[in-house]
Amino acid sequence: MKNIALLGALALSLLSSLAQADEAKPLRIGIEAAYPPFAMKTPEGAITGFDYDMGNALCAEMQVKCVWIEQEFDGLIPALKVRKFDAVLSSMNITEERLKSVDFSKKYYNSPARLVMKAGTEVKDPLVDLKGKKVGVQRASIYDRYATEVFAPAGIEVVRYGSQNEIFLDLTSGRVDTTLADAVNIDDGFLKTDAGKGFALVGPTVSDPKYFGEGAGIAVRKGDKALADKFSAAIAAIRANGKYQAVQGKYFQFDIYGD
């Protein structure tokens, strides 16, 4: 009987140790660090930006250690599925299409899509005014899907790129006529730079929920509701305790969370 009791105690001790080890495991988060002001590199090569700071604030709230893993945007969901990381925090919008393959936390920000072209260009109806022109979009993004399904059938040529920064380079050189992207990224990552001089936001805001969803959330593997719920609870907590506003204030002069 003593041996049985001893074995039982050892088993409980082992289970407890495994649980503690699991809780102590760092949380691996995938990010594309080429999307200012949400994620970019310092001159020293360190990741910085709103997404990065927000993720660290959320991990601190959840009392877990964050480990950031860089990945090109179009490879984020595939890498999440094969367990290269546990979550994606990289300005990824919650859409019906993505919800087929991953789950999401509640949103942590929401900003509209816009077009940018040479200053003075008038665009009232993109489907009419952009016919025959080239629009650059980031591959596998919500802007890619929208342009493919809405712009392309209207006679607008869609050109896909690995990163938004590549599109801005081709926009300034004239290889594309416009890009459809996040309005904040266009403003901070292009219009406020020397390369963006002579360009401006044009046309109406693009916000069809079918394509742009309800805002950016944190993606987790399908069925990992526990982790998604932890992130959602942490988002609510830092919005209540002021830590969200402190991170936001470093990058924006308005409420990026949205309605």
pLDDT for res 3 = 52
Residue 152: its pLDDT value, please?
A: 98
Q: Could you give the CA distance from residue 171 to residue 199 in angstroms, rounded to a whole number?
A: 10
Does residue 22 have a pLDDT over 80?
Answer: no
Q: Per-residue pLDDT tens for 118-176?
A: 999 999 999 999 999 999 999 999 999 999 999 999 999 999 999 999 999 999 999 99
Q: Which domains does the chain have, with CATH numbers?
A: 2-110+215-251 (3.40.190.10), 113-212 (3.40.190.10)
User: Cα separation of 143 and 182, whole Å?
Assistant: 9
Query: Looking at residue 11, what is its pLDDT?
Result: 45
d(CA 25, CA 39): 24
Q: What is the pLDDT of residue 171?
A: 98
Predicted local confidence at residue 9, as pLDDT: 47
Q: Is the peptide bond before 26 cis (omega within 30 degrees of 0)?
A: no
Mean pLDDT over the full length of the chain: 92
Q: pLDDT over 90 for what percent of the chain?
A: 88
| Residue indicated by tokens 């919500």 | 142
Calculate the CA 142 to chain-centre distance. 11
Summarised one tens digit per residue, pLDDT across range 52-85 is: 999 999 999 999 999 999 999 999 999 999 999 9
pLDDT band at residue 7 using 50, 70 and 90 as cut-offs: very low
Per-residue pLDDT band for 232 (boundaries 50, 70, 90) equals very high
Structure confidence at residue 178 (pLDDT): 98
What global pTM score does this model have?
Answer: 0.84
Does residue 205 have a pLDDT over 50?
Answer: yes
pLDDT score at 259: 77
What distance in Å separates the CA atoms of residue 70 and residue 48, rounded to the nearest whole number? 12
Q: Is the pLDDT of residue 20 over 50?
A: no
